[in-house]
Amino acid sequence: MPTSQISTLERTSGWAKFGRYSLLTLIAVIVLLPVYAVVMQAFKTGAGAMDHPRSLLPVDLTTETIRVAWTKGDMGTLMRNSLVMSVLVTIGVLATSLLSAYAFAFLEFPFKRTLFALFLATMLVPAEVTILINKRTIDSFGWKNSMTGLTVPLMATALGTFLIRQVFLQVPSELREAAALDGLGHGRFLYEVAAPLSRPTLGALGLLSFLTTWNQYLWPQTIIDDTEHRTLQIGLSRLSNADINRLNLVTAGTVIAAIPIVILLIVFQRQLVRGLTAGAVKG
Amino acid sequence: MKRRWRDAPTALMMLAPSLALLGLFVFYPLVRAIWLGQQACDNTGNACHSVGWSQYIDVYRSNEFQNALGNTFTFAAITVPLGIILGVGLAIVADKHLRGIGVFRTIFSSTIASSVAVASLIWFVLLNPQLGALANVFDGIFPVLKRPGLLNDGGTALPAVALSSVWAGLGFTFVIVTAALQSIPRDLYESAFVDGAGSWRRFTNVTLPMLSPTLLFIGVVITARAFQAYGEVDLLTQGGPNAAGRPTETIAYFIYGKTSRISNQLGLQSASAVLLFIILLVLSFIQFRVLERRVHYAN
Amino acid sequence: MTPTTSPVRKRHHVHAATLIAGALLIAACGGSDKSVLDNNKPSTTATSASTASTAPTTDASTAPSGSDAASTTAPAASTTAATPLDSLPDCPIDALASATSPVEITVWHSLNADLLSSTLAKLTDQYNASQTKVKVKYVNQGAYEESIKKYFETTQKQRPDVVQFPEYIVQNAVDQKTAIPMAKCMQAAKLDSSMFLKSALSTYTTGGVQWSMPFNVSTPVLFYNKKAFAAAGLDPNKPPVTMADLREYSQKLVDSKAATFGIALESGFDSGGGWFLEQWFAKLGIPYVDHDNGRSARATKSLMNNPQIVEALTQMQSLINDKLAVYVGDNSSTGFDNLLSMVDQSQPAGMAIATSASLGSVLQILQAGNQFPNFKVDDVGVAPMPGPGKPGSIVGGASLWITDSADPKRIAASWDYINYLVQAQQQSEWGSVTGYVPVRSDANTLDPMKTKLSDPRFSVAATSLGELPATPDFSGPIVGPLREIRLVVAEGMAKIMSGGDVAAIIADMESKANNLIADYNSRNPG
């Protein structure tokens, strides 16, 4: 932003600038220090990681620990499982939310108000209540230790419906009337008009779903017992059970685990902000 | 009349997937859990028999539940104010047109990339009394870091767990408050400046009121997270230290934790979960009704 | 967003919320000294159990297999007196012969330390390679508690074929009717168990039936600093045996400044706080629970409040009060806080009681040399656990259970695998690396265990396990909620070690244990 357009209020003078930069740097260091310490330990040998305070210096680095963590922790399988689970749930949430949001926004049917209230009410039920029973339900279906059991219950959320309905309500009625005149049925209207118009919200919702599912901890821990379907978050906790001498394996594991999300968030920054603020600014 | 019913078949078709999912995986569990809350079951969760609705009262008044409830409230009391204050503070510090501010903004929002597992394990490693960097570098100043370690000392365990949660939530609050800050019309500041208000006054009279809906939202989200804190406890302390009366056992961990006293009693777990649901309802209600009165909405 | 409710209604909402919050608070105050596990209902053991077994199982999960029919008509009173083997599920070990393709079985274990899990992995890989009928897949389920929780909360179909369970879960496992009694397999295979450790077999025997196969056998032993002993004028080859010895040795260690404390004590539920107390009961020959320590019939009450125990614990507390011993907490941070206390730079302790299972790891860490420069491998002395009563100790650790999967091939395969693991050669390898006691004595005559035993420290546990008589009162308790009882006891021990009133705490522990047992018995029809 060119200096001329910054108001007098916001222009910072020389010393204030220096002060501000110093403050920013100090805070950045504090925020990043835990990450730095852990990343350092991930690139050291077991002995090096325990040799404090030298362990914090970028010397004697090795990629050995990362390699061991990858194989010992079977992180390829873990990542794949988490990825598949997150993608499936995101698709499921988007699909079901699009459909029900469309119904609530564009269709007329009895008990619409009540049904929508019920939808919203489900957002008040915490996971602690549902997981207890869902695990028994899934078990009785024979879906334990399967991707189906892992993903299907996570698709049950009304947040998507709520958000997309908001956007759909903004669609001008002239557009609807024109489409009806052109003979567009509901399906084509949804696919060719409504959905494309709400693409930013869909992107944000998709990213939010992906992130939330990727970070799931209690649900995968509850219904997965085998090693083939373990997700990344649970696999990480397994690494932490290892010997006290090999604690740096845990740090290596967390570094590996965090990288995909860091990349994802850098690429989808704008969707991220939109997704997070979806409820914040004047709901 | 006919118009209302005309779309019904289509509506039913489109609503069916969501209805099925929500019915089976949200409504049914709620009803079932409420029913199970007055049952006592064997250690496999079968062979349940009714012991009366007073079980809810018994669970609520039991010292384990009260302990978990107290711990959870304490956890929230630490994470909510700290989370809001730090998030707002960071956002304000970074809300300047300086060269390279983008780099700092990215750093401040970076903790969004950490999941509960990643954040907890980072702090698990840092605080480990034998091997953690923090413990070994600062134990001269704070001996509790090494003996017995922040996570093993009855007094510091819960704050330490809360600390990891606050750190993990920094990015989230920063991003949201920054977005909200940027939507505050600049001319409000200008007119306040013209009226002679100093920077602190501008903060209290312009920024805070304009941020209040956002702060309410963040408060609600962090509170909900605090009341559902499970992963942090599972990875850092498993509810312990036992000798100090399990000060880190949150309600979620009390229900699902492997070291919990009721880890194999479905009836008690259900009752506790339903009680948590009720408590969350009351809390949300209070937060929205009571606090919303103080929230300022433009126009 | 304009408010849609009038100010008056809004006030009502606020009032309602405050009222509810207030009501909750009021309900909370008062009466919160009761455990959530207190069985407050009048004892309806007979009626409630029988309604439980005839009530429709209200979940979609499949009922456990096999002998369920038999149990629904059995009287609800706790009688598992000498259940005839005939009424229990069979172990069809011949089913393996007819298998045309490899039978896959899943094994859950909870060996977290790298040394232990890698040794099990090695033995399992050896087994897989040595034959083609069975393919074993092993999964580390994390801590024992996690494994137990997952095992019992799931349906029978999802359970692993073989699971490693700790010794405190025996009665619970029997009551949930999920397993094939090991006795049947041993009988069908005509296994000669004469060389097996009697105490190891009897640990997993209740109601006259041996239910599981001991696999990793351990017992508490005394670790002591030989260098410090010598510096204090004590004979490093004559470790303390009685409580009086413990005091005398600690006094000498402290007076001579060879160590800051005589012994480090901890109150972990699986060690100094819970398990070790059961050891003392066994040494004194006092039953922990009724009905012959729960072995002739299901236990109905705790017998913890015994004057001899009060006396022994008071003596232990006085050691701490006189600064001859140090209390290091509940051992939750590393699992061997008391051992670490021995290598502490500033305030070391001369002795610590820990499980013999840590011997292998301890020596391995010291051997590596870089972590504790002051402490060499040879400085470590190992002796039987000191305490009141007779010398000797009882079995701890875990055993292997076969799940009744209703698939004869898988049951037979599970037996084949377990049988392999308890052969002399495998036990010899297992014991020599890990420090666990081989479950059979002929393993000690084979290498590598034979060579290992040239280090006398590795034979202490086995000797200690052979010393107590094999009768119920000297064998440790079997009772349903033993895990929860240990948690309660560990809390009590922590209070005692921090200076509380011993007699009052023990009486309280006993009454809590009674509540736990009553609650367990009323919910779990045997």
3-state SS, one letter per residue, for chain A: CCHHHCCCCCCCCHHHHHHHHHHHHHHHHHHHHHHHHHHHHHCCCHHHHHCCCHHHCCCCCCCHHHHHHHHHCCHHHHHHHHHHHHHHHHHHHHHHHHHHHHHHHHCCCCCHHHHHHHHHHHCCCCHHHHHHHHHHHHHHHCCCCCHHHHHHHHHCCCHHHHHHHHHHHCCCHHHHHHHHHCCCCHHHHHHHHHHHHCHHHHHHHHHHHHHHHHCCCHHHHHHCCCCCCCCHHHHHHHHCCCCHHHHHHHHHHHHHHHHHHHHHHHHCHHHHHHHHCCCCCCC
Using CB atoms and an 8 Å cut-off, which of residues 211-240 of chain B contact chain A? 213-214, 217-218, 224, 227-228, 230-231, 234-235
Average pLDDT (B143-168) is: 86
Query: Which letter does DSSP use for residue C298 in this model?
Result: -
Query: Hey, what long-range contacts does C509-513 have (CB within 8 A, 24 or more apart)?
Result: C509/C304, C509/C305, C510/C302, C510/C303, C510/C304, C510/C305, C512/C35, C512/C485, C512/C488, C513/C302, C513/C304, C513/C485, C513/C488, C513/C489
> What pLDDT score was predicted for residue A52?
72
Q: Which two tokens stand for residue B268?
A: 């008690």
pLDDT value of position C67:
37
Q: What confidence score (pLDDT) does residue A233 get?
A: 92
Domain of residue C224: give its range: 220-393+479-523
Average pLDDT over residues A89-102: 94
Q: Determine, for residues C145 and B242 on separate chains, whether the beta-carbon distance falls below 8 Å.
A: no
Three-state helix/strand/coil letters over C141-177: CCCHHHHHHHHHHCCHHHCCCEEEEEHHHHHHHHHCC
Please give the pLDDT value at position C511.
Answer: 94
Q: Which of A243, A247, A250 to mutate to test the interface with C (most CBs of C within 10 A)?
A: A243
C328/A8 Cα distance (integer angstroms): 62
Q: Which token pair is C356?
A: 């013999």
Give Rg (Cα) of chain A: 24
Contacts of C158 in chain A (CB under 8 A): 139, 144-145, 225
Question: Does residue C385 sit in the same domain as residue C439?
Answer: no
Taking CB atoms and an 8 Å limit, are C330 and B240 in contact across chains? yes
Q: Considering just the CA atoms, what is the radius of gyration of chain B in Å? A: 24
Q: Which two tokens stand for residue C350?
A: 């001369």
pLDDT the model gives residue C77: 42
- C209 and C231 both lie in a single domain: no
Tokens standing for C74?
Answer: 């059995």
The CA distance from A207 to the nearest CA of chain C, in Å, is: 28
Q: B151 at the A interface (CB within 8 A)?
A: no
**Could you tell me if residue C291 is inside a domain?**
yes
> Which chain B residues contact residue A277 at CB under 8 A?
175-176, 179-180
The CATH H-level superfamily of A78-232+271-276 is MetI-like (1.10.3720.10)
Contact B276 A128 (CB under 8 A): yes
* A281: chain C residues, CB-CB within 8 Å: none
| Structural contact between residues B74 and B197, judged by C-beta atoms closer than 8 angstroms | no
Q: For residue C289, how many other CB atoms are within 10 A of its CB? A: 26
Using a 10 angstrom Cβ sphere, with 0-12 exposed, 13-18 middle and 19 or more buried, the burial of residue B103 is exposed
Do C209 and C87 sit in the same domain of this protein?
A: yes
- Establish whether the linkage from the previous residue to C56 is cis, with ω within 30° of 0: no
Q: Determine which of B264, B270, B288, B290 to mutate to test the interface with C (most C C-beta atoms within 10 Å).
A: B264
**Which secondary-structure segment (H or E) carries C132?**
none
Select the residue of B63, B148, B237 nearest C35 (Cβ to Cβ): B63
The residue assigned the tokens 């009571």 is B290
More confident residue, B1 or C178: C178
Same domain, C168 and C125: yes
Angstrom distance (rounded) from CA A149 to CA A155? 11
Closest partner CB to C334 (pick from A144, A241, A244): A244
Q: DSSP letter at C289?
A: B
CB contact under 8 A, B41 and C64: no
Q: For residue B115, give Cα distances in angstroms to A29, A259, A260, C90, C241.
A: 21, 12, 12, 48, 52
**C 76-115 near A (Cβ less than 8 A):** 106, 108, 112-115
Beta partners for C206?
C209
- B: neighbours with 3+ CB pairs under 8 Å? A, C
Q: Which residues of C touch A237 (CB under 8 A)?
A: 142
pLDDT tens-digit readout, B20-73: 999 999 999 999 999 999 999 999 998 899 999 999 999 999 999 999 999 999
For residue B171, which of A237, A43, A167, A215 has the smallest C-alpha distance? A215
**Domains of chain B: residue spans and CATH:** 53-292 (1.10.3720.10)
Name the residue among A140, A246, A283 with its Cβ closest to that of C114. Answer: A246
Residues of chain C neighbouring B48 (CB-CB closer than 8 A) = 52, 55, 57-59
How much is the average pLDDT of A262-275? 79
Q: Give the span between the Cα atoms of C195 and C439, in whole angstroms.
A: 8
Chain A CA closest to residue C154: A139
Q: C61, A244: Cβ pair inside 8 Å? A: no
Interface probe with A: pick from B26, B120, B189, most Cβ of A within 10 Å: B26
C182 shares a domain with C233? no
pLDDT of residue C510: 95
CA-based nearest residue in chain B for residue A263: B113
Calpha distance C356→C385 (Å, rounded):
10
Mean pLDDT score of chain B: 88
* Cβ of residue B66 closer than 8 Å to a chain C Cβ: yes
* Beta strands per DSSP E along C362-395: 380-384
User: Computed from CA positions of residues C439, C443, C449, C454, in that sequence, does the dihedral angle turn out positive or negative?
Assistant: positive
**Over chain A, what is the mean pLDDT?**
85
The reported pLDDT for the residue numbered B152 is 83
Looking at the domain assignment, is residue C353 inside a domain? yes
Give the containing element (helix H, strand E) for B237: none
Residue-by-residue pLDDT tens, chain C, 526 positions: 444 444 545 555 555 556 566 666 655 555 556 777 765 443 333 333 333 333 333 333 333 333 333 333 333 344 444 557 888 899 998 888 888 899 999 999 999 888 888 999 999 999 999 999 999 999 999 889 999 999 999 999 899 999 999 999 999 999 999 999 999 999 999 999 899 998 899 899 988 899 999 999 999 999 999 999 999 999 999 999 999 999 999 999 999 998 999 999 999 888 888 888 999 999 999 999 999 999 999 999 999 999 999 999 999 999 999 999 999 888 776 677 888 888 887 888 999 999 998 888 788 888 877 677 778 888 899 999 999 999 999 999 999 999 999 999 999 999 999 999 999 999 999 998 888 999 999 999 998 999 988 888 988 998 999 899 888 899 889 999 999 999 899 989 999 998 999 999 999 999 999 999 999 999 998 6
B229 pLDDT band, cuts 50/70/90, is: very high
Is C396 in contact with C269 (CB distance < 8 Å)? no
The predicted-structure confidence for A208-222, as pLDDT tens digits, reads as follows 899 999 999 999 999
Are A233 and B116 inside 8 Å of each other by CB?
Answer: yes
pLDDT digits (tens, 9 = 90+) for B85-102: 999 999 988 888 888 888
Distance CA A222, CA A132 (A): 9
Question: Residue C221, SS3?
Answer: strand
Would you state the pLDDT for residue C59? 36
What is the model's pTM?
A: 0.88
CB-CB neighbors (< 8 A) of A28 in chain B:
104, 107-108
Question: From the list A96, A129, A251, which residue is nearest B18 (CB)?
Answer: A96
Distance from CA of C147 to the nearest CA of A (A): 9
Pairing label, strands C261-265, C325-327: parallel
Share of chain B above pLDDT 90, in %: 47
Q: Who's near B237: CB < 8 A, 6+ residues apart?
A: B151, B152, B157, B161, B248, C332
C245 CA to chain B: closest CA distance, Å?
28
User: What are A's interface residues with C at a Cβ cutoff of 8 A?
Assistant: 47, 50, 135-137, 139-140, 142, 144-145, 225-227, 237-238, 241-246, 282-283
SS3 letters across A183-235 = CCCHHHHHHHHHHHHCHHHHHHHHHHHHHHHHCCCHHHHHHCCCCCCCCHHHH
pLDDT value at B172 more than 70 = yes
Distance separating alpha carbons of residues C340 and C347, to the nearest angstrom: 11
Considering CB atoms only, which of C114, C154, C365 is closest to A139? C154
Q: B85 in contact with A at a CB cutoff of 8 Å?
A: no
Minimal Cα–Cα distance from B34 to chain C, Å?
A: 14
Domain count, chain C: 2
Q: Which residues contact B52 (CB under 8 A, 6 or more apart)?
A: B38, C41
Do the strands C103-109 and C162-166 form a parallel or antiparallel pair, or are they unpaired?
A: parallel
pLDDT at C44: 37
* Chain B interface, best mutation among A9, A132, A219, by max B CB count within 10 A: A132
What is d(CA B249, CA B41) in angstroms, rounded to the nearest whole number? 23
**Cis amide bond preceding B148, omega within 30:** yes
Mapped onto helix, strand or coil, the DSSP state of residue C482 is helix
The model's pLDDT over C209-233, given as tens digits with 9 standing for 90+, comes to: 999 999 999 999 999 999 999 999 9
**Do the Cβ atoms of A29 and A233 come closer than 8 Å?**
no
The model's confidence at residue B198, banded by pLDDT at 50, 70 and 90, is: confident
Structure tokens given for A276: 């997070």
Q: Average pLDDT in the B262-280 region?
A: 94
List the structure tokens of C134.
């069975």
Q: Which two tokens stand for residue C419?
A: 């049988």
Residue among B43, B60, B152 whose CB faces C176 most closely: B43
Rounded to the nearest angstrom, the gap between the alpha carbon of residue C406 and the centroid of all alpha carbons in its chain is 28
Helix (H, G, I), strand (E, B) or coil at C179: strand
From B147, which residue of chain C is nearest by alpha-carbon distance? C328
Distance CA B117, CA A220 (A): 12
Other C-beta atoms lying within 10 Å of the C-beta of residue A183: 7
CB contact at 8 A, C243 and C462:
no
Which phi and psi (to 5°) does residue B129 adopt? -65, -35
Where residue C389 sits, what CATH number does that domain have?
A: 3.40.190.10
- CA-nearest residue to B295 within chain C is C1
One domain for residues C357 and C426: no
CA distance B183 to B191: 16
Nearest CB among A109, A132, A279 relative to B273 is that of A132
Q: Which pLDDT does position A96 carry in this prediction?
A: 95
Q: Which amino acid is at B37?
A: G
Q: Per mean pLDDT, which range of B115-119, B131-135, C395-399 is the poorest?
A: B131-135
- If we measure between CA atoms, which residue out of C351, C336, C344 comes closest to residue C375? C344
